[in-house]
Amino acid sequence: MTTTRRVALIRRPTGQATPDCFEVGDVELCPLEPGEVRVAVEFISVDAGTRTMLRGEGFHMQVGIGETIRAGGVGRIIESTADDWEVGQAVIGGLGAQTVSTLPASEIRRVDDTLGPLSLHLGVLGGSTGVTAWIGVREVAKPGPGDDFVVSAAAGAVGSIAGQIAKRDGARVIGIAGGAHKTTHLVETLGFDAAIDYKNDDVNAKLRELCPDGVTVFYDNVGGPILDAVLDNLAMRARVVICGALSQYDDMDNVTGPSMYLRLAERQSCMEGFAYFHFPQSFRPATEELAEWVADGSIVLPETVLEGIDRYPEALQFMFEGGNTGKLLVSTMR
């Protein structure tokens, strides 16, 4: 294999990251340096946070013009000059949006390919997905019996798992998602107690109906008007967890903060943000428990897979338009 097909950033998006911001093409591969591996990428994770990497400055590592889009991926080693890294080993790491990734062995880790498809390690078992949900629920939100747990972007990858974990921990779970097919999925497939369709329902009114005593825990992945609606319906001593702000990522220079934040003071409530890498001590217990649930079938995360590396730019736009249910992935195999 002498080339990799990659997705590169050719201009910084203004507003939505549309496909014309990217270029897909073949690049020659250089010989391996000592300690490097070459990985045939099988699945690429499509994450909302990628949009924040396209700005040129920000909290996350930024993508330079002409550079390969940063993305988590899974695949198998096809060439190695690193000790103890054999051809055929399944691995995960920052493989980028490309078909073949060349990188130091120190930047990947082995994964167990006996648990199921390699895509599991980007979904239920992935750091930006299942592990993030587990940490947000278990380490930050800490819901339990008697709690009304509300989660936004509930039919997405993180929201789906967060709601299921909160349900396992005894909370009453209400998901907010867009469209009747997604709200039906939340209740009938994931076992949520109720769901709100933000596209067709009055979110404020539905929250008052479903949580007459107020929301005790809110796991937010969206920000904007949804966050304000929940803040307006908090119970006393409620907990608000900020995991993401999907509604804000297309215009990070003009982020709209919550106008209802004084409800936190009025109701003696707290708001806390987190990222999964703030909790390195939790990676192992999170992954182990999530793997147990995968094995016994007690946790569900559908996958939406677009086939072919050329569809990665489309996939990123697809996510921000709410097209996916569950984990969104690009498969390089076709």
Report pLDDT for 267.
Answer: 97
Residue of higher predicted confidence among 225 and 334: 225
Is pLDDT above 90 for 321? no
pTM of the model: 0.93
97 touches 18 (CB < 8 A): no
206: pLDDT confidence band, cut at 50, 70 and 90? very high
Give the SS3 label for residue 95. Answer: coil
What is the separation of C-alpha 315 from the centre of its chain, rounded to a whole number of angstroms? 14
What are the structural domain ranges in the chain? 3-123+301-331, 127-277
Average pLDDT over residues 293-314: 94
Is pLDDT above 70 for 272? yes
Q: Which fold has domain 3-123+301-331?
A: Quinone Oxidoreductase; Chain A, domain 1 (3.90.180)
Report pLDDT for 319.
Answer: 87
280: pLDDT confidence band, cut at 50, 70 and 90? very high
The CATH architecture that domain 127-277 belongs to is 3-Layer(aba) Sandwich (3.40)
Which segments of 166-208 are extended strands (E)?
Answer: 172-177, 194-197
Report pLDDT for 281.
Answer: 97
Report pLDDT for 249.
Answer: 82
Is pLDDT above 90 for 56? no
* Cα three-residue angle 28-72-133, rounded to 5 degrees: 175
Which of 162, 176, 169, 177 is CA-nearest to residue 147? 169
173: pLDDT confidence band, cut at 50, 70 and 90? very high
Is pLDDT above 70 for 58? no
Give the pLDDT confidence of 14-49 residue by residue, as tens digits: 988 999 999 999 999 999 999 999 999 999 999 988
Is pLDDT above 90 for 248? no
Distance in angstroms (rounded) separating the CA atoms of residues 112 and 122: 12
Give the whole-number percent of the chain exceeding pLDDT 70. 99
Report pLDDT for 334.
Answer: 58
Is pLDDT above 80 for 160? yes
Is pLDDT above 90 for 268? yes
User: How does the average pLDDT of the chain come out, rounded?
Assistant: 95
| Measured distance between the N- and C-terminal CA atoms of the chain, rounded to whole angstroms | 17
Q: Which residues pair with 9 in a beta bridge?
A: 22
Q: Give the list of residues 6+ apart from residue 190 with CB closer than 8 angstroms, or none.
A: 160, 163, 164, 175, 300
Average pLDDT over residues 140-146: 98
Which of 238, 231, 219 is CA-nearest to residue 158? 219
Is pLDDT above 90 for 260? yes
Average pLDDT over residues 281-288: 96
Is pLDDT above 70 for 103? yes
What are the φ and ψ backbone dihedral angles of 36, each rounded to 5 degrees? -100, 160
Average pLDDT over residues 104-127: 95
